[in-house]
Amino acid sequence: MSTRPFSSCRFNTATLELVGPKGQMSLRPQLGALLSLFLDRPMQVLSKESIITAVWEDSVVSDDAVFRAIRDLRHALAECGCDREMIKTIPKKGYQWTELEATTAEFTGDLVITRPSLQKTRDPKRISFKLLWILALTPIAAWSIWTLIASRNQAHVTQHTRLAVLPVMNLVENDEYSWIRAGLTDAICTSLAEDEKLETLPLETVLNATSPSDAPHQSVVHLTQHTGVDYTVSTQIEFREDVWRLGYVIFKGDQPFKSGQCLGDSPMAAARELVKKTQSAIGRPYLSVAESLSPDPYLNETYAKGLEKLDAEGPAAALPFFEICVSQDPNFLWARLKLATCLFLSGDPDRAMDHLQSTIKAAEIGGRDLVQAAALLERAERYADLEENDSFKRDLARAREIYTAIEHPYGLIQCDFLHAHTFVNTSRSEEALPIYDQLMDRARSLRDHALEAKIYNNIGLIHFENNRYEPSRGFYLKALDLAQNLGSRTLEATILGNISLLEMEEGNYESAIKRFEQLRQIYAASGNRADEGWIRLALAFAHYYGGSYGKALDASKQAQTLLEATGNIRLLVFAIAAQGYLELFYDQGEIARATIDHARSYHYQDRDDDAYWFLETVTAWCELDEGHLTRAQERMQAFPSEYLSDDQLSLMVSALVAYHLGAFHQAAKLISQARERQPHAWQPGQQLWLEAMTKASEMNAPVPLPSLIPDANKPNR
């Protein structure tokens, strides 16, 4: 029987139609297979491995594909009025369909056709780059969650001392110790922040309120003005006479208060002495670094190196460092939390959730409130991505409860940011606006101009998502003005990226390219290969849409080189596929085939992701170029309807397939839709194709398709 009833819904296994009280929709094949699997095995706990075997068969997919498929199926059930809670998550075991047996209960009321989820209705250009610039828990250039280690409520200044730590000035000219500035500073902040009566500003706030070009005293003045700190610690480190020497000056307000030097046989040993002397100078009892980090100096140094790698190169480069810390010291909770973050970003969500669970449990037993709240908030973010609303609300409420108890305003702000973030990039993005309005009031009360800039940025993004470009530009410019006044290059770069994307959407490619080039130089100077790779890929598309095809091809190759070092397979596949696409555009079919084979050699099989379908589109075009019409036709027929109808390139390739099949009217219709989809991005060569296919439709006979690029503009390659 092809129709499977359950609860008040039914599912047709032949057509993949899901029908419920609120409407109906066609499921893509993977979701249909997943729902059939659940209906076949009610009340059974299905492991991730069994789901992958049943749904994806012999394909290679990341663990995260299961999470997204579960999330999307729950969303589809809810859209049709079915009970999304029938899919239950069983921690560490898998998922369970909780309806014991299917029923034949009928539902009443008129059916309405629901539109596809907005999650899958953006073209690769928008979905792949716009998501870079949402300032939720952290900015794009910093995956670290140390923004959670922050000051308490300003109303309690008489009970708490507010402290800031400037980045360590590294005087050691040796690449082996390049980790010191970011990693050692972060480790010092982590240790001091565990003292709940000492308000240690998050490193991100310090960086946003100062400029790398400022002298230490200038930075202190800026921090005092913008954040109201009581004390600021300025340091520099050198290795001389076989000893690490960490010189320090502690400022009270904007005046020097105490100074000295901490010695040690390693940078972390000197840092431990600094923590002790800082606490003594401001009248706080000494809190051992071992209580917040690890008693093993080697592991603390490894941890600091991991922090620097995470910031500069991405999760793949940082992962081994945190693995070492946790394997040798299971009670090193901050390292375990960072390991979980890296595992999530590297596509291993099951292991990440295990580490989060153990961190939360150990922190609760040990009374480590700050670590527990940070881990709960991290897990809440993952539950939000999975649309597991009950679990998300539970963890968010518990994190909020802890931050309230320890008077931690920045932690509470992060809770609200996450709450708002769950609405951004969905059909409910407008619901985030009142939350951002409340956050703005709190940011102003804390005198945190960096936070104000983030909020303006996110409000601008919501307007952009809803195609309100002028209001979007206004909020972006407010954010940019604040970031530039603060001298924060990282924050400024993030906002400039969003403005560039807005300009691309409006067809102002020349201006977008100039901004992207500015960003590329910023990230290249910082050594941040992960973000420079993203920007190179964005530049490739900007040059392409702007008509500079040679520069687009060069940028895609440069992006590939950078991204190969980051371990981000999704982006790497996207960059290589973009290179293949541009080579096909140049009529370089043989070269394009080698490029596409290279991209496919990574066996990226996540059919829920736009990078997969972008590669499939380029592959189909290459097959057409080689004369394999049947292969290309079969490949394009496998596309989800919502992706096919919303992406310009896939519409263009579908038109080409129809043209070669002799369906000239269909070809003209499809290529016209492609032009309507992105009129600003329509290229002269594509217009020639449109005119040729329209003429073929009128004649009902083939006509020669012109080259997309005139011979005079083709490079000598």
Q: For 643, phi and psi rounded to 5 degrees?
A: -75, -45
Cβ neighbour number for residue 642 with a 10 Å cutoff: 18
Residues 6+ apart with CB under 8 A from 544: 552, 582
Assigned fold of 578-717: 1.25.40
Q: Of 486, 447, 21, 462, which is closest to residue 209 (Cα–Cα)?
A: 486
Please tell me the CATH code under which domain 3-114 is placed.
1.10.10.10
Instruction: Using DSSP, state whether 107 is helix, strand or coil.
Output: coil
* Per-residue confidence (pLDDT) for residue 118, from 0 to 100: 25
pLDDT of residue 598: 92
The model's confidence at residue 212, banded by pLDDT at 50, 70 and 90, is low
Give pLDDT, residue 301: 85
Query: Under 8 Å CB-to-CB from 133, ≥6 apart: which residues?
Result: 140, 457, 461, 494, 495, 497, 498, 501
If you average pLDDT over residues 22-45, what whole number do you get? Answer: 85
Least-confidence region, from 85-94, 174-183, 366-375, 672-681: 85-94
pLDDT digits (tens, 9 = 90+) for 49-82: 888 888 887 666 666 678 778 877 887 888 888 8
Write out the H or E segment, with its range, that includes residue 469: helix 469-486
In 3-state terms, what secondary structure has residue 94?
Answer: strand
pLDDT for res 446: 72
Section 555-571 average pLDDT: 84
How far is the CA of 497 from the CAs of 91, 312, 513, in angstroms?
A: 38, 18, 10
Single-letter amino acid code for the residue at 204 = E
Burial grade of 415 (CB within 10 A; 0-12, 13-18, 19 or more): buried
Indicate the pLDDT class of residue 707, thresholds 50, 70 and 90. Answer: confident
Span between the terminal Cα atoms of the chain, in Å: 58
Q: What percent of the chain has pLDDT over 70?
A: 84
Three-point CA angle 598, 567, 572, nearest 5°: 40
pLDDT band at 407 (very low <50, low <70, confident <90, very high): confident
Least confident of 1-10, 248-257, 286-295: 286-295
The SS3 of residue 354 is helix
Q: pLDDT-based confidence at 196, cuts 50/70/90?
A: low
| Tokens representing residue 249 in the block | 């000056």
What pLDDT is stored for residue 520 in this prediction?
86
The whole-model pTM stands at: 0.58
> Does the structural domain 146-423 have CATH classification 3.40.50.10610?
yes
Question: Which pLDDT score is estimated for 225?
Answer: 76
pLDDT at 70: 84
Q: Provide the pLDDT for residue 336.
A: 94
Residue with tokens 């890929």: 537
Q: Which of 576, 504, 584 is nearest to 539 (CA)?
A: 504
Residue type, 503: E
Of the candidate ranges 84-98, 230-244, 346-360, the one whose mean pLDDT is the lowest: 84-98
Taking 90 as the threshold, does the pLDDT of residue 112 lie above it?
no
Whether the pLDDT of residue 235 is over 90: the answer is yes
Q: Which residue has the higher pLDDT, 398 or 644?
A: 398
Mean pLDDT of 391-411: 87
pLDDT for the residue 173: 80
Q: What is the pLDDT of residue 576?
A: 93
Q: Which helix (H) or strand (E) holds 222?
A: helix 216-227
Q: Read off the pLDDT band of 338 (50, 70, 90).
A: very high
pLDDT value at position 713?
A: 47
Q: What is the pLDDT of residues 302-315, one digit of tens each?
A: 888 888 888 767 77
Ranges of each domain in the chain: 3-114, 146-423, 578-717
* pLDDT number for residue 506: 84
In this predicted structure, what is the pLDDT of residue 121? 27
User: Looking at this protein, which amino acid is placed at residue 401?
Assistant: E
Give me the pLDDT at residue 158, please: 34
What does the pLDDT average to over 604-628?
86
Q: How far apart are CA 490 and CA 208, in angstroms?
A: 8
Residue with tokens 């190169």: 313
pLDDT of residue 100: 52
The residue whose two tokens read 């394909």 is 59
Helices vs strands, H then E, count in the chain? 31, 13
Using only C-alpha atoms, the chain has a radius of gyration, in whole angstroms, of 27
Largest CA distance in the chain: 89
Neighbours of 599 (CB within 10 A): 23
The model's confidence at residue 200, banded by pLDDT at 50, 70 and 90, is: confident
Mean pLDDT in residue range 569-577: 87
* Contacts by residues 181-185 (CB-CB < 8 Å, ≥ 24 positions apart): 181/308, 182/307, 182/308, 182/311, 182/312, 183/303, 183/304, 183/305, 183/306, 183/307, 183/308, 184/237, 184/267, 184/268, 184/271, 184/304
* Token couple for 310: 């995470």
Out of 53-62, 435-444, 468-477, which region has the weakest mean confidence (pLDDT)? 53-62
Q: Report the pLDDT value the prediction gives residue 289, as an integer from 0 to 100.
A: 46
CA distance readout (Å), 187 to 198, 205, 270, 302, 577: 16, 16, 12, 11, 40
Q: pLDDT > 90: what percent of the chain?
A: 20
pLDDT at residue 466, rounded to an integer = 82
Higher-pLDDT residue of 420 and 422 is: 420
Convert the pLDDT of each residue in 21-32 to its tens digit: 888 888 888 888
Q: Look at residue 132 in the predicted model and tell me its pLDDT.
A: 36
Q: In what order do the strands lie in the sheet with 9-12?
A: 3-6, 9-12, 17-20, 23-26
